Amino acid sequence: MKKENKAAVAAFTDREPLEPVSELTTNRLSVYLRCLNTLDAEGVKTISSQALAEQFHLNAAQIRKDLANFGEFGVRGVGYYVKELRSHLRQILGVDRRIRVAIMGAGNLGLALADYPGFRDEGFEIAALFDTQREKIGQRSRGGVPILDVRTLRRTVRRERIAIAVIAVPAASAAAVLKEVVDAGIKAVLNFSPGALKVPPDVKVKSVDLTVSLESLSFFLAQGQTDAE
């Protein structure tokens, strides 16, 4: 590793965020990481913030500002070392290790999520599916993820060191399932069930409402039709 590159690594290692980092910033860091994954796979060694922005339709000033929260990564006259910056972002986002995930609900959505290969590629390992239906318990998804009785959730979370739960159950069951997840000690939840869910302050919930997204797209199409009339 070159001397300048070592200095950039040291700057990152010793640096704490200058101020609380917003969720919008962490979302952008995830986008930057995805871009760097592409560049690394293509064999690109270095890239400037401007070239990164132009290639992936981003904002160069925003890239520099976001990264400055965590250290001085760029090298004057060189830009960013792709492999090293990719490694740093993985560490910042906490995906430099395997993160074990439980999916609550072994319906069509839960099974599809369990077998999605992209999760494993990014460091997320689906440890188990949980359900209440007897005919499903003991079965496996097509990809081999076991379907367990929800009554075993607490001990499975401890044994498997599950850190994230994904809720993929009907809306009517979501609140009760979330309570079981929180009671099992899980602090991070991805919710695919419609509606808002209340959690304690130390639990983080991210909701993905597919219907809202589709309605937003429908609104866009409807506006376009109105303009055309």
102-117: per-residue pLDDT in tens?
999 999 999 999 999 9
115-172: per-residue pLDDT in tens?
999 898 888 999 999 999 999 999 999 999 999 999 999 999 999 999 999 999 999 9
How many C-beta atoms lie closer than 10 Å to residue 103's C-beta?
29
User: Is 0.85 topped by the overall pTM?
Assistant: no
User: Which run of H or E residues covers position 47?
Assistant: strand 46-47
Q: What are phi and psi of 85, to 5 degrees?
A: -65, -40
Tell me the pairing of strands 124-131 and 147-149.
parallel
User: Which run of H or E residues covers position 165?
Assistant: strand 162-167
16 pLDDT band, cuts 50/70/90, is low
CATH topology of domain 3-92: Arc Repressor Mutant, subunit A (1.10.10)
42-71: per-residue pLDDT in tens?
999 999 999 999 999 999 999 999 999 998
Superfamily of domain 99-213 in CATH is NAD(P)-binding Rossmann-like Domain (3.40.50.720)
Domain residue ranges of the chain, discontinuous segments joined by +: 3-92, 99-213
Tokens of 181: 């997840």
Residue 80: strand pairing partners: 47
